[in-house]
Amino acid sequence: MDKLRAAITEVIDSGVLTNDGPRVRRLEELLSQAVGASDLAVCGSGTTAIQLACAALGADGREVIVPAAAFPAVAQAVLRAGGTPVAVDIEPTYLTIDPQAVAAALTPRTGAILGVHTFGCPADVDALRSIARAAGVPLLFDGATCWGISYRQTPLLACGDAATLSLHATKLMHSVEGGAVIGNTVPLAAEVRRLRNFGASPAGASPAGTNARMSELHAAFGALVLEEAESEIVRRLAVRKLYLDALRDISWLEPCPFRLDAGPNVAAMPVRLVVESPFDAEALATALLSHGVHARAYFAGRYRMRHIQAAGQTPCADAAARRVMCLPFHGGLTEREIGRVADALRSAPG
């Protein structure tokens, strides 16, 4: 905390509070180095990161294929970018966008495929890449929660033609509020820097522009949190282990599987109600709240995306909405607190 206070004071004393200041550029350099990506621009949130990436990829006026079970920010960002989200089903095991369903939903109007690495679990990157290449459309991944996670020895954020990151305070790596766009096969950073600042350029202001800047205060905060990211990963791995022990005897609940060759599994603690369960994830989250436990059913209830167009049936996404929820998860959780979550789960259904 002392370090944070000193950093904030330093920003205030510098007289530069926002508008592409040196701390924003410094954070961009630090994040680029860590991901091994040369093309990276930060912005105001993970949501505007998706929006600006879609705009920079030319999805305006086009269909963007998204998973039917996803945080609402995904479809909202596509809409704000002037695209039309088209929802397709997810894979039953890993809860990530189903490549078969993506292939079936392609039309001449498709402007991009937008996969989500759900709760940090990689989407089927290889299958999606083949489909996107064959169709000649860009492949974008929402890697909002994927800081520090690799897939087959490659940082997950380096997968796809482009990827986005959230730097919100609930994520492992954050700047209180913030986000980033990473151009992997196509350079996007320069365009994202224009778009986050009203799209202003010598040729005029782009309609796709908005105010999605990051302030110097947020950037300074981010640089300090980054120093802690590695130790937070270690703490979270220990917390996951404690959870797995604590949940072992709850037969109606199972931790969501993580794709092989991916790790560390440190973004979230998603669990799934087994099929026979008589109650749904939303009801369980509400019951847990009465025990002071903040669990979230991210695909249901208040988070369910209304009025979204779907291509075909989405039975796996519908099942995930009924059965998947995330338990409280961060490196500061103690064994006692995790025990309290497990106790609340045991008493919640009754």
- Enumerate binding residues for ligand PLP (CB under 6 A): 45-47, 71, 73-74, 116, 142, 144-145, 166, 168, 179
Please, which residues bridge with residue 42 across strands? 180
Return all residues near 33 (Cβ < 8 A) that are at least 6 apart: none
Report how far residue 97's alpha carbon sits from residue 308's, in angstroms, rounded to the nearest whole number.
16
Cβ-based nearer residue to ligand PLP, 145 or 197: 145
Cβ-based nearer residue to ligand PLP, 65 or 74: 74
Minimum distance, C-beta of residue 84 to ligand PLP, in the bound complex (Å) = 19
Please, which residues bridge with residue 329 across strands? none
Minimum distance, C-beta of residue 130 to ligand PLP, in the bound complex (Å) = 23
Minimum distance, C-beta of residue 116 to ligand PLP, in the bound complex (Å) = 5
Cβ-based nearer residue to ligand PLP, 172 or 345: 172
Cβ-based nearer residue to ligand PLP, 246 or 298: 298
Minimum distance, C-beta of residue 57 to ligand PLP, in the bound complex (Å) = 17
Minimum distance, C-beta of residue 145 to ligand PLP, in the bound complex (Å) = 5
Cβ-based nearer residue to ligand PLP, 142 or 246: 142
Minimum distance, C-beta of residue 141 to ligand PLP, in the bound complex (Å) = 10
CB 226 within 8 A of CB 173: yes
Return all residues near 318 (Cβ < 8 A) that are at least 6 apart: 68
Minimum distance, C-beta of residue 248 to ligand PLP, in the bound complex (Å) = 27
Q: Within 10 Å of residue 337's Cβ, how many Cβ atoms?
A: 14
In the bound state, the residue with its beta carbon closest to ligand PLP is 46
Minimum distance, C-beta of residue 326 to ligand PLP, in the bound complex (Å) = 10
Cβ-based nearer residue to ligand PLP, 71 or 329: 71
Minimum distance, C-beta of residue 71 to ligand PLP, in the bound complex (Å) = 4
Cβ-based nearer residue to ligand PLP, 62 or 168: 168
Cβ-based nearer residue to ligand PLP, 168 or 322: 168
Report how far residue 119's alpha carbon sits from residue 96's, in angstroms, rounded to the nearest whole number.
9
Cβ-based nearer residue to ligand PLP, 73 or 246: 73
Write out the chain in H/E/C secondary structure: CHHHHHHHHHHHHHCCCCCCCHHHHHHHHHHHHHHCCCCEEEECCHHHHHHHHHHHCCCCCCEEEEECCCCCHHHHHHHHCCCEEEEECECCCCCCECHHHHHHHCCCCEEEEEEECHHHCCCCHHHHHHHHHHHCCCEEEECCCCCCCEECCEEHHHCCCEEEEECCCCCCCCCCCCEEEEECCCCCHHHHHHHCECCEECCEECCCCCECCCCHHHHHHHHHHHHHHHHHHHHHHHHHHHHHHHHCCCCCEEECCCCCCEECCCCCEEEEECCCCCCCHHHHHHHHHCCCCCCECCCCHHHCCCCCEECCCCHHHHHHHHHEEEECCCCCCCHHHHHHHHHHHHHCCC
